[in-house]
């Protein structure tokens, strides 16, 4: 079964994209365009995102819930409707204060998020 979906000039029904548990309490649906990776996350309340960094620019789009995100030492409390851009190589970590639904957009493509 393919876990990541290629968006190359085609419409995708998000409901049909399989989810993958990337870490405890975080399940994602992974899609790729020619230059970007999109991940629709479902995070359980209390789920932790360990401190990490990557060379990709990341735009966090909060769809539901509340997330505490620390980017390069600065804490941000994100709620539904908030958008935050994380520069490439910036260390960041997070914690879901409630159950969250998030759309993360990465540029360029996250090759480590290509599965199957």
**Over the stretch 73-90, which tens digit does the pLDDT of each residue have?**
999 999 999 999 999 999
What proportions of the chain, in percent to the nearest 5, are helix, strand and coil? 5, 55, 40
Any domain includes 35:
yes
Any domain includes 19:
no
Q: What is the CATH number of the domain that holds 102?
A: 2.60.120.10
Q: How many residues are present in the chain?
A: 116
Q: Note the pLDDT of residue 115.
A: 86
Q: What is the mean pLDDT of residues 18-23?
A: 95
Q: How many structural domains is the chain composed of? A: 1
Q: Note the pLDDT of residue 74.
A: 98
* Res. 42: pLDDT tops 70: yes
The answer to whether the beta carbons of residues 4 and 31 sit under 8 Å apart is yes
3-state secondary structure of 112: helix
pLDDT band at 100 (very low <50, low <70, confident <90, very high): very high
* Res. 1: pLDDT tops 60: no
Any domain includes 51:
yes
Q: List the domain range (segments joined by +) for residue 71.
A: 4-9+26-113
The answer to whether the beta carbons of residues 75 and 68 sit under 8 Å apart is yes
For strands 26-32 and 4-6, give the pairing.
Answer: parallel
In the chain, pLDDT over 90 holds for what percent of residues? 87
């Amino acid at each position: 079964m393919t876990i990541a979906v290629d968006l190359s000039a085609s419409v995708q029904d998000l409901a049909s994209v399989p989810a993958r548990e990337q870490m405890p309490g975080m399940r994602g649906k992974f899609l790729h365009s020619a230059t970007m990776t999109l991940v629709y996350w479902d995070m359980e309340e209390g789920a932790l995102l360990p401190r990490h960094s990557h060379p990709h620019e990341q735009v966090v789009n909060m769809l539901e819930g509340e997330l505490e995100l620390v980017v390069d030492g600065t804490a941000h409390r994100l709620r539904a409707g908030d958008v935050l851009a994380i520069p490439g190589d910036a260390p960041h970590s997070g914690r879901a204060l409630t159950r969250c639904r998030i759309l993360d957009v990465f540029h360029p493509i996250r090759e480590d998020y290509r599965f199957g």
